[in-house]
Amino acid sequence: MKFLSAILVATAVAFGALTIGFTAPGQAQDAAAAWKARTDAMKGSGGAAARINKAEDAKATVEDAKTIQANVAKLGGLFPAGSITPESRAKPEIWTNMDDFKAKIAAVQKEADTLVATAEKGDLAATKAQVPVVIAACNVCHSAYRGPAKQ
């Protein structure tokens, strides 16, 4: 019986080692893909905000406002567990405080929704005034969950 137990333990350890060997590269790819997706979303939102600030026509702001809104809406799904890469500025606290992290994203989403509503009304001044409100909501999250720039 002890022999059988030893074989089962050895088999489990060997299987575990094989599983780790096969999944680690995939997990690294997943982390890199998640990092790229969230970086692209945030940079895309930053570019959209800059275009809104330069806009001379309210109609020109609607698509950029919707881009920000859509990017914020997908942020919660772009931080799967373990998706820290060497390039990532994400702090580990995201995953230990996920409820707070998602609450901060919800606050940004509310402001992005207001941005879209304002843009759709055609009020250029109000739309431009909402951009720093959205950015301030973003910065609340960044202050808590984004580390310093990489050197």
Based on the structure, what is the number of domains in the chain?
Answer: 1
What is the residue range of 49's domain?
29-145
Between 39 and 150, where is the model more confident? 39
Residue 15 has pLDDT above 50, yes or no: no
Query: Which domain CATH number covers 65?
Result: 1.20.120.10
Q: Which tens digits make up the pLDDT trace of 115-130?
A: 999 999 999 999 999 9
Nearest to 116 by CA among 105, 127, 129, 107: 127
For position 28, what pLDDT does the model report?
Answer: 60
The separation between the first and the last C-alpha atoms of the chain, rounded to the nearest angstrom, is 58
CA distance 108 to 145: 14
Over residues 84-112, the mean pLDDT reads 96
d(CA 72, CA 87): 21
pTM for the whole thing?
A: 0.80
- The reported pLDDT for the residue numbered 23 is 32
Q: Would residue 54 count as lying in a domain?
A: yes
* Lookup: tokens for 44: 């895309």
Question: Does 21 fall in a domain?
Answer: no
Which amino acid would we find at residue 61?
T
Return d(Cα 10, Cα 148) in angstroms, integer: 44
Assess if residue 53 is contained within a domain. yes
